[in-house]
Structures are given as C-alpha cells and as structure tokens.
Structure 1
Amino acid sequence: MQKITGGQVVVRSLREHNIDTLFGLPGIQNDWLYNALYDEPNIRVIHTRHEQGAAYMALGYALASDKVGVFNVVPGPGFLNSTAALATAYALNAKVLCLCGQIPLKTIGKNTGVLHEIPDQLGVMRSLTKWAQRVEEISQIPMVVSQAFSQLDSYRPRPVGVEIPMDILAAKTQQMFDYSPAPSLHPAMDLQSIRESAAYLKNAKNPLIFVGSGAQGCAKEVRELAEKLQAPVVGYRTGRGILDSRHYLSFTLPASHELWKNADVVLAIGTNMRIPLQKWGVDDKLKILRIDVDETSHDVIHSPDVAITANAKEALLELLQNIPGDNESREQQMCHLQNNWQQQISYLEPQLSYLKIIREALGEEGIFVDELTQVGFTSRIVMPVYKPRTFISTGYQGTLGYGFPTALGVKVAKPQVPVVSVSGDGGFMFAVQELATAVQHRIGVVVLLFNNNQYGNVQQMQKNIYGNKIIASDLHNPDFVAMAKSFGAHAFRVENIEELLGRMREGFSHDLPTVIEIPVGDMPNVDRFRKLPRVRFC
C-alpha cells in the first residue's frame, strides 16, 4: 500500500468533515499540507496577502453560512498576525478552525531560535479559543481533527485550534485511519425550567424578548413566540435580522429603552443583554428568563429568575407548546413607538440617506458587513435587516479593520448574493492588500469607502471630550480610486449621494471587487444612544 504523509491525512480529515474551502498563506512549516492540498481538487484554497486576512475571511465565511471557516497559517509571527481575527471570532461565537503549523516537535519549548519559534504558542491559542490541541504523532491527526469539529458543533460554538509540527506533516505512514466524526454534544433540556418560563410569559402584561447570536438559527420560532405573546423582539449587532425589521414587533436596542422601563418579564435568547442589565437597571418587579446553550453564561452579569440551558431552537419549540396564542394585538402601540424612534434618529444625516440606498441596492437577500465608522455605527441601530446572517458585525470586540477581509469571506460563502462592506479610510487600510486576493480569486464584494482623511471617531472624541486636543488622528491617504484600479479592481469616486445606487448595482454585476470612494466630512454620531439613562432602580 502506498504511503501517505501527515499533510495528506489532514486533508482527508478535512474532507471527511465536508470542508471545501480553506483560507491560508503557505510557508515552510506547512509545505506538506499544501502539497496535499494541491492533489485535492475538492478543497478550494484561497491564499491571502496577510495572515489576518486569512483568519478574517474564515470568520466571514462562518458567520454568513453557519458552516466551519478554516484558516491555515505558519507558526510564530504568522499565527500572531491572525490573532485579532481569532479574538473577534471568539467574541462572535463563530465556528472557525485555526489550523496552525508548528516548528519540529523535538524543538518545541527548547528556546533554541528555530525559525518562527515563540514561547508557548499553544497556550496563546488556548487563550483565544474554546479548545486547542497539538498533534504529536501522525496517527493522532484524524482523532484530533475530529475532536476539533465535535467541539465546534457541541454546546456553545466558538473557534478551536489545531497545531501540527512540520515534521508530523512530513511524516509518512501506511496506516489505515478511522475518519469517523466524533459525536456532537448538547445539554439535556430541563422541562421544569420550560414550564416555569411558560408560566411567567403567559401571565406577563409587558413581555420583552432579546435575541443575540445564539438565536440566529431559530428565526421562525422567535417570530411565532413573539406573535403569540405580542412581545417586542430586540436585536443589536449579532441579533439583527432574527425578526425582520419590517415586523411591527421588531426593535433595535436603543429603541427598546422605553419598553424596558415597563417590562415585567424579559426572555433573553442567546444573549447576555449586557447593555440593559448593566446600564438600564433591574428591580424586583422585573423577571428575567434566559435560554442559552452555555450554562456558565447565565450568571455572568445578572442571575436570571429562570435559566434554561439548551439549544435555543429546541427550547423554543418546547416553550411554544406551553403558551397559548390568544393575546390582543399590540400593533398600534408598537407602531406608535416606532414612529417616535424614527423622529429621535432623524438627525443622523447623511448616514440615514446612505443606509437607505444601501438597503435598496442589497434587496431581500443581500448581506451588509459593518465597520468601526459612523455609517457602520448608525447601521446597528437604524438599518432595516430582513433575514438572519445578513448583518455581519464585529460585536463587542470592536476590531477596527475587520470589515473588508471579513466581507470577502462572506462573499466566498455566498457567491450569488450581493455583499457590501462599509468602511472608513482608516479601517480600510488595515487590510487593503487583500484587494489583490479579491481580484485574483474573483471575489466580487462592493466596498463603500467613506473617506474623511481621519480616524473619524477618535477625532470626534478628541474634539468633543478632550478640549480639541487633536493628535494622531489626521490621515494621509492615497488616491483610493487609482490604487484600487492598480490592483485590477473596479473603482469609482461618488461625489453626490444620487450616484451611489447606480454604482453599487454596477459593482454587483461583476465578479471582481468594486471600491466606491465617498468623500465625506464630519457626521453626527450615535453616542447619545450608547448612554441612555437608568430607568429601573432597586
């Protein structure tokens, strides 16, 4: 029987877990992996110009598809270059596999100056993942890879890591391996907690539902429960689109501030409700119910009255069986609150006008990737989102520069769907080199580059909070249109908002990236909605 290498065993293990795309950047410690990938026609390798790009693309791929995004990097500096994306994936509960090379097994920890050696790489990886393991023998590869996928599918999804020394990848064997997937594990549901929650909800006069990333897979059940209870559904960043923004019960986070004041029962599904619990207040009249697959998350900020540890979809299906649907419609009341909200945000121009055009251009299926820029901040609280996994956010991690490379991964996962990345000039330059990747692999993302020649949010704070002490926030930029064209991308500069819709549609018609530069000045910010007052007191 022909011998196979460790690299070939890795590739076969990936295929057994239905991986068809890998984002990576080759290097000597991973030579035998890429040799094996060369011989595997069923895995598409998208090679990037920087390790952070590979990791962010895997993140976008995972967030848009709910499939596993895999990235591969060399050890040491290559791995460290990817860690901002790995931290973001951890914050977003994303199914990302970091497949990392390593120096030869016998040299690990010896501090002899082997190429790309760093102290305790596995320890760093474990601090940024749910689970990470090193392969120390070729025979361990299928088992370790299988364990990695089991971890990704079990309980709370978060990134995992597998570290494989270069000599293990190069080793050869005739051994036959069992590539059987390891089982996924899920918590057993406590039916008593379901019944207690149902009792609270049935008797509630002003129920509220908050949703986060843990509810992305149960939009149908969330809507059914909301309509039965006539309970508003609140989503922010990772919860956008779980209930269609056009539904009268759908609210963004700051728009729900008034509802929080009078709520008597709040159900949190796959979210910590960080801002309401920490900023808006809790009193004895408010009953809090939580559904989360991770039992350790229930008490992180505030202990709930009832905690349901379960897969959200399974818990909601059971909960729906225990709740009648005879509540009087609150549509008129909710529409009145929504109209008031629209008046409160009317000062957010030109962001509102830009977001209206973006929404029109994206249509029903399009995907929006936000960034740390004023249009991005505004989108989180005002942009209509129609479906789950169509609003991609950095979440609490707030990773400047994540947006463009993450959007490339989104587009790879959803090639037939329009994908828009909004970015400021500061954030865009973090990963501008991935324009080369997008052109080479024909990844047709449309980038809306809002250029004010500043780290704009930083400069606003310097002006408004620190007495106009402007330092290190003015930027010297290239000619973005000329630069993008030099990569082979399509590029335009839009001087007035009326041109934007046509240019976006033109960009969507190509399979090459399109950069649309939009020169802007200072924009009003959303800070007043980040600091809404406490409305409940113990």
Structure 2
Amino acid sequence: MTCAELLIRLLRDTYDVDTVFGIPGVHTVELYRGLGGGETASGIRHVTPRHEQGAGFMADGYARATGQPGVCFIITGPGMTNIATAMGQALADSVPMLVISSVNRHDTLGRGQGRLHELPSQQQLIAGLARFSHTLLEPQALPEVLARAFSVFEVGRPGPVHIEIPIDLLDAPVEEPASWRRTSLASASPDLEALEKAGDWLRQAKCPLVLLGGGCIKEPSAARSMVEALDAPAVTTINAKGLLGIDHPLDLGANASLPAVRKLAIDADVVLAIGTELGETDYDVVFDDGFSLGGRLIRVDIDAEQLARNQPADLALMADAGLTLKALASRFSQTPLRKNGEERTRATREALALWQDPAFAPYVSLFDTLRDTLPEAILVGDSCATTYAANHLVSQPATRRFFNASTGYGTLGYGLPAAMGASLGKPELPVVALVGDGGIMFTLTELACAVEEALPVLILLWHNQGYEEIRRYMDSADVPRLGVDIQAPDFQMLAAGFGCYARSVGDPESLAEAIRERPQQGPSLIEIDAAAWNASLQE
C-alpha cells in the first residue's frame, strides 16, 4: 500500500475515525485515493467545507460534542494559513484536533524555489499553534507519529497536532505495520500523599470553594459526588457547563467575574481548582484583574506548567482530573461533610440576581424559549451578544452541550461551522448556533456545506446592526465609533440563495413558533431583530 492508504487504514481501523473535514487540492489528491468511493471506499465520511478555517471549526465542534479528535485534511501553504485561526482556538481551549497536511517535496523543503504553495517553513509557522508539529520524512514512521498524536489526545493536555507529509511520500510504497492495535494508555493518578493532604485541608475548611474546568467533563458523576460530599459551592466554567447537571443547588455556573462570586472566592479558606487554567476568559471577563483567592489553593492539572500559571498554588497535583475527582469523591462520600454549601450557593445566586440584571434582560426570554422548545439542544456560540449572556444565564443537563469561541482565543466566525461539526458528531441531538450579524459574515459560506450535508442546525442570528460589544467599549473609553456600525446584507435572501430555510422574528412568541415550524431536514436560519425584540419586552 502507499503511505496515504496506510494513513487512511490507521485512522479508520486503529483510531476509529469516522469523519474527515477537508478541501481537496492538487497536493492532497493521493489522500483521496484512500478515501474514495466504489470498491475502494474507506467508510470514512468526508465533509467539504468552503474554507479551511471552516474545516478547523467543524473539527473543533465535532471534537467538543463527541470527545473524539476532529480530523482535517489540508493542502500545503494557503490551506494551512487558513486553518491557523481554528487551530489557535482549539489550542487555547485544549480541544483534540488532528491536522494532516501535505507539504512540498522533501528534497525541496527550505530551498525557496518558488514552488506551488511554498512557505519558507510550514512546520515552523504552525508549530506555535499545535501541541506538536511533525514533518514525516520516512513513510514507515507514520504509525509511530500517529500514536504520539493520539497519546496527546487521550492522556495528555489535548490540543491540535499537525502532521505534514511531503507530496512525494504520499504515494510512496510502505509495508503493512506489524500490528494495527492501538496502544492502551493509562491516565496519571494523583500522588497519594498529596491527595491525603488535600483531603485534610478540605475536611478542616469552614468555607471551601470548588472551581471545576473543562478538564473535568469526562467524569460528571464523580464531580457531582465529590461536590455534594464536600458540600461546597462550585464554579463550573464555560467549558464545564453541565458538569453537575441542570440547575444543581451547588452550581454557581460560569460567573466568577461577577462581584458576588468574587466575594465568595475571597472569603473561602480553601479553594480546590481541578482541570481549569484559572484564565482570564473564565474568571475575569471584565478585564480588571479582580479575581482573587483569600485562602489556600489546591490545584489539579494534567499539565505541569499550567500548575504554575495565573494563581500560585499552595498544593499542586499533576494528575488526571477525572481520576482525582473519583479519588476525592470516594474519600468524602464515606463521611459526607457539612459546610453549608447549598445555603452559601443560594445566597450568592440571590446576590447575583442574574435574571433581574438589566444587562441580561433582553436574553432571559430568549433562553427560556430555547429551554422550552429544545431542552436537549447543544448550544454552540460565536463571539456575540447572545453567547456572552448564555455564559451566565444558561444551565445545561449534561456536559458537551455548551461551548463557544468567547473563551481563550476568542475568534469570530466559529459558531456556524462548529455547530455543523457538533451536528455531524451528535446527529441524535438538536444543535443551535448562536451567532451575530457581524461574526457570521466570517464563515457564512459554510451554509452551502450545511445544506449539502442536510445538517438540521438551527442558526439563531441576533441582528443588532454591527459590532455591539466593540461599540460599548469605544463609548466607555470615549473613543469615537469607527468601523463598528457595519452594513449588513439581506440575510433572508442570502439564506434562500443557499437553499436554506429562513425566517425573521422580533419577539419570544414568534421565535417559539419559528422553532416549532422549521423543517427537520437541513439547516434553518432564524434572524432575530434585536431592536424589535427589545421593544417587545417593554410592551
């Protein structure tokens, strides 16, 4: 077989890959020989986005919804620079993504001969956006390199991995590997002595607080058991939403940037932070460096370097978050503690008064409507007004049903293609894309792919006539508005041109009706006129 055919066999038979996102190019046609139809069909579904950035966002959404790496096939040069933004978002949020690309012939690399798609060093350009970037120089080494990639996804801190294959190696003959079996990998267990010390501190604490990040989402049952046995309020970050279940009495949600939760953090005598970066976009979205911890901090993370970042730890455990949750839950469940957790959580929620906050008022009825009509939906957000509100207001029944691009890298254009990836990965669940009239223009062309794949994604487009968040920042900084009041197209006409069902609404009742009446096959775009919506709430 050829190197390209071996790659397809390994992805399918060893690593259970069932979907690949990519745009064929002259440098990657050999990959498609292995994927092709007829008697040579691989059984792997190929999805063709309309831009490589869309491919990366789709792979990201697929990975977050399923827990399995999203896989992309990308051409040399411009394909890689196009996908770089999506890799940056996945890197910031620790999302497993495998990017397989071509690169120029191995004997021409670095020679600057002006060849098609040539970069001075494609590997060096992409290395800063990946957990590692590898140039394959020997076809027989492919199984080992893939094993390295999947070890990062499974037991390390996940993120994008890039493997580039010179075009002259794609059709090079290669021997069948000695084994097609996948390496069995065990996660890192917490140090027993450190675990005992952490348990002692938490037992002795009078006002403990738990911070649960995206690293915990594989073990929701253990997280619930641990928090309940400890009887402590818990902040669940944006990427951990749904970890404790819907409306759990100990869950404060992703509200660490708000004064009432910050006071709880200052007053806590012991804070347990598991699988969280303690980064700005989860704990300081008001950007004032105002999140502080008053007591001792216990940190658990799979990444040793992360244990030294953002907040200094009094006790740091380099271990798998899920195994640590199970170990602590087992210890505390034997003799559950009483720390007035529910009372403290209730008092903090009352102080937050999110549902009465004027800043969130326009969105309360929107998410009430979604909860009534699509209670099991995966919500996928762009960087837009509805997503920012959802971060604070929405509670989900399970993990992997809420994620967006407002965390970490904070890109625009993520919502639509990531929702498509989620729909491909979880076709049994409804998927809603929360987008704005500004951000959707970055990747609007992916509507064509959504129609082509008949993906039943519901696109909720909040139309507020431009970049509203930046308008507010300019106004508060006394900077004259420039570049934020942008001209919007006729989204209804555009959607129709792609063959996508579209409807415009201006109040909660018409939104509920539009959701119920939308077709069940293919995407639907519901445009919400923000001005009309806000006016309807005043009536």
Aligned 1:311-326 pairs, distance under 5 A:
311-323=320-332, 324-326=335-337
- State the distance in 1 between where 2:218 and 2:183 align: 22
Cα gap change, 1:523/1:259 in structure 2, threshold over 3 Å: closer, same or farther? farther
Amino acid at match of 2:329: L
2:26 corresponding residue in structure 1: 28
2:266 corresponding residue in structure 1: 261
Question: How many angstroms does 1:258 deviate by?
Answer: 2.9
The superposition leaves residues 338-394 of structure 1 with CA deviations (integer Å, 9 ceiling, x where unpaired) of 23322674312211221221222221x211112211111111111122211111122
Question: How many angstroms does 1:428 deviate by?
Answer: 0.4
Amino acid at match of 1:428: I
The superposition leaves residues 219-271 of structure 1 with CA deviations (integer Å, 9 ceiling, x where unpaired) of 11111111112101102321211122411111022352231131111100101
1:534 corresponding residue in structure 2: none
1:10 corresponding residue in structure 2: 7
Q: Please state if 1:413 is matched with 2:425.
A: yes
- Equivalent of 1:296, from 289, 305, 317? 305
- State the distance in 2 between where 1:354 and 1:61 align: 25
1:449 corresponding residue in structure 2: 461
2:98 corresponding residue in structure 1: 97
- State the distance in 2 between where 1:251 and 1:490 align: 37
Question: How many angstroms does 1:326 deviate by?
Answer: 3.9
Q: Is the 8 A contact 1:372 1:400 kept in 2?
A: yes
Report the 3-state secondary structure (helix = DSSP H, G, I; strand = E; otherwise coil) of the residue aligned with 2:158: coil
More displaced stretch, 110-119 vs 130-139: 130-139
Report the 3-state secondary structure (helix = DSSP H, G, I; strand = E; otherwise coil) of the residue aligned with 2:379: strand
Q: Is the 8 A contact 2:268 2:293 kept in 1?
A: no
Cα gap change, 1:343/1:22 in structure 2, threshold over 3 Å: closer, same or farther? closer
2:475 corresponding residue in structure 1: 463
Question: How many angstroms does 1:273 deviate by?
Answer: 2.1
Q: Please state if 1:492 is matched with 2:493.
A: no
5+ residue gaps in structure 1?
A: 525-538
1:162 corresponding residue in structure 2: 163
Cα gap change, 1:494/1:168 in structure 2, threshold over 3 Å: closer, same or farther? same
Cα gap change, 1:114/1:523 in structure 2, threshold over 3 Å: closer, same or farther? farther
5+ residue gaps in structure 2?
A: 535-539
- State the distance in 2 between where 1:291 and 1:274 align: 14
Q: Is the 8 A contact 2:451 2:499 kept in 1?
A: yes
- Equivalent of 2:351, from 340, 363, 368? 340
- State the distance in 2 between where 1:415 and 1:9 align: 29
Q: Is the 8 A contact 1:456 1:522 kept in 2?
A: no
Amino acid at match of 1:25: I
More displaced stretch, 384-393 vs 89-98: 384-393
Q: Is the 8 A contact 1:442 1:511 kept in 2?
A: yes
Aligned 1:125-164 pairs, distance under 5 A:
125-164=126-165
More displaced stretch, 290-299 vs 148-157: 148-157
Aligned length: 516
- Equivalent of 2:438, from 416, 419, 426? 426
- State the distance in 2 between where 1:58 and 1:169 align: 23
Aligned 1:468-487 pairs, distance under 5 A:
469-487=480-498
Report the 3-state secondary structure (helix = DSSP H, G, I; strand = E; otherwise coil) of the residue aligned with 2:137: coil
Aligned 1:337-376 pairs, distance under 5 A:
337-342=348-353, 345-347=356-358, 348-363=360-375, 365-376=376-387
Amino acid at match of 1:521: A
Report the 3-state secondary structure (helix = DSSP H, G, I; strand = E; otherwise coil) of the residue aligned with 1:290: strand
Cα gap change, 1:185/1:173 in structure 2, threshold over 3 Å: closer, same or farther? same
Cα gap change, 1:522/1:495 in structure 2, threshold over 3 Å: closer, same or farther? closer
Amino acid at match of 1:505: R
Cα gap change, 1:185/1:331 in structure 2, threshold over 3 Å: closer, same or farther? closer
Aligned 1:61-72 pairs, distance under 5 A:
61-72=62-73
- State the distance in 2 between where 1:191 and 1:174 align: 45
Question: How many angstroms does 1:459 deviate by?
Answer: 1.7
Report the 3-state secondary structure (helix = DSSP H, G, I; strand = E; otherwise coil) of the residue aligned with 1:26: coil
Sequence identity (%): 31
2:530 corresponding residue in structure 1: 520
1:529 corresponding residue in structure 2: none
Q: Is the 8 A contact 1:76 1:116 kept in 2?
A: yes
- Equivalent of 2:291, from 262, 275, 280? 280
